Amino acid sequence: MKIKAFLRALLLGVALGTMSFAPVSAETLRVMAGSSSSPLNVPMNRAVVVESDQPFAELSIANPGIADITTLSDRTIYVLGKLPGRTTMTILGADGKLISNVEVQVTPDIAEFKERLKQILPGETIEVRTANDGIVLSGTVSSTAKLDRALDLAKRYAGDRVSNLMTVGGTQQVMLKVRFAEMQRSVSKNLSSSLGVRGTVGGGSAQTGVVSGTGNFTGAGAIDNAFDGGTMPIKASSAGALGLGFTAGNLEFAVLLEALEAKGMVRTLAEPNLTALSGQQAKFLAGGEYPIPVVDNDSVSIQYKPFGVEMAFVPRVVDGDLINLEISAAVSAIDTTVTMSSGGFSVNAFKRRETSTTVEMRDGESFAIAGLLQDDFNDLNSQIPWLGDVPVLGALFRSAEYERKQSELVIIVTPHLVTPTRGEALALPTDRVRPPTESELFLFGKTAGSKAPTGAAAEVAKQDFSGSYGYVME
């Protein structure tokens, strides 16, 4: 065993003896007397060795705050970068003659920054340069997010002295498609009755009126109108009204029945589209402006309130096809059912549905950013005390009302990355309509030519809208 160990040690010594070790070369600058010296670039907080071809006797640095110099021998100088900047180092010989002036430029240490940049953002073609006391970044990156990461890393090394000359490749324009879809359905029913009685007692006369619900008998005067001339008190606004009158002995009776059922449906659909550059705001309004008078002391001024389909959004292409959207969308209309009058002016209210949010999604994906399902129900039953509780006949002394409203609202957004195209490839709404000829207009009464529309307009025209839509109420 000892012999084997001895042989191994002997072979190892022979191998080490035959190996040649290359010396580690330091970063140096050689200065030749009588010739111009190349600039000396020194990274901040790092050192560079300067070698002279002949011994020197004196050294000086113009700005010691930028670089520090130390002699290692009569031919070797140790230069340490302290602060970014540019200065001059002068080398003099023993006879006082000038050997050389070396321009020393201290720059931020970007070697480590380049390594970290490749580790964090592999595959990105980012060029790093130094300029005076800062860092300059140039090249093309694939997304805004990676550009921000490169800038954040550069600020760790150079603070605010970072110049950004990078550009973002790929598509940076976003078209946002917003769909407002709202369905409203309402059902109302009411049933009311009124009874009037007039009779003669002895030599005089007596009359009475029984009013229930929304009937049109409202006192003795109305009852007189009900009997005189044989006309019933049915107003022009009374829909579904039935009046009856009869005489029993000395008593005259008048009965008015009103029954009404109303149904309604409203469908609202708006699809505004808008295109904007990444990071820039875009606005859209399709509607109008409503004048609102404002009274100030003795003067009246007019302010305009916009209404219609409104949209404002700021797209940001984060990474590839990932899009960040800051959206504000609204649909408003004038509400003629609510009116306010002041100072001789009448102003209507507004119905408005709006949303404001920030979402993130990819190209072509959709997001329902807002939704509302509302169900309003109310009923009312009014009657004459005690008389309304009488079986069968009590219906003449009762009034019942029923009303129900349902509405559903959904707002869906879909972003698309888009690029410009040739103008010939874009279709206009007017392209699908042709003015009629004189014969088509005067002979056949056509307001548009016979040219059939194509594309999406033709598909919409083929749809059948005769089916049921909205809510179904029982």
Of 89-93, 378-382, 395-399, 408-412, least confident by mean pLDDT is 395-399
CA nearest 228: which of 250, 252, 249?
A: 252
Residue 309 lies inside a defined structural domain of this protein: no
Please say if the pLDDT value at position 236 is more than 60. no
Largest CA distance in the chain: 159
| Res. 224 pLDDT band, cuts 50 70 90 | very low
**Cα atoms found within 13 Å of the Cα of residue 111, Cβ hemisphere only:** 7
Looking at residue 122, which CATH number applies to its domain? Answer: 3.30.1340.30
Among 258, 288, 310, which residue terminates a domain?
258
Same domain? 151 vs 190:
no
Per-residue pLDDT, averaged over 447-457, amounts to 63
pLDDT value at 104 more than 70: yes
Number of domains observed in the structure of the chain: 4
Is residue 372 pLDDT above 80, yes or no?
yes
For 237-273, write each residue's pLDDT tens digit. Answer: 556 667 777 777 777 777 777 778 888 888 878 888 9
**Mean pLDDT throughout 191-207?**
64
Query: How far from the centroid of its chain's Cα atoms is residue 299's Cα?
Result: 40
| Residue 250 exposed, middle or buried by CB count within 10 Å (0-12, 13-18, 19+) | exposed
- 215, 233, 258: which is the final residue of a domain? 258
The residue that leads in pLDDT, 241 or 104, is 104
Give pLDDT, residue 327: 93
Token pair belonging to 279: 């990071």
Q: Tell me if 432 is assigned to some domain.
A: yes
- What's the rounded Cα separation, in Å, for the pair 385 and 210? 11
Residue 135: closest CA among 159, 112, 116: 159
Domain membership flag for residue 325: no
Chain-centroid distance of CA 130 in Å reads 39
Residues facing residue 391 across a β-bridge: none
Distance between CA 183 and CA 473 in Å, rounded? 14
The band of 464, judged by pLDDT with boundaries at 50, 70 and 90, is low
Both 454 and 441 in one domain: the answer is yes
pLDDT at 452: 58
Specify if 239 maps to a domain: yes
- What pLDDT, on a 0 to 100 scale, did the predictor assign at position 218? 41
pLDDT score at 360: 92
d(CA 252, CA 232): 13
Q: Band of the pLDDT at 383, cuts 50, 70, 90?
A: confident
Q: Are 250 and 200 in contact (CB under 8 A)?
A: yes
The per-residue pLDDT of the chain, averaged, comes to 77
Specify whether the CB–CB gap between 221 and 248 falls below 8 A: no
Straight-line distance from the first to the last Cα atom of the chain, in angstroms, rounded to the nearest whole number: 104
240 domain residue, yes or no: yes
What pLDDT is stored for residue 168 in this prediction?
81
Q: Give pTM, 2 decimals.
A: 0.58
Task: Say whether both 89 and 116 belong to one domain.
Answer: no
CA distance 159 to 136: 12
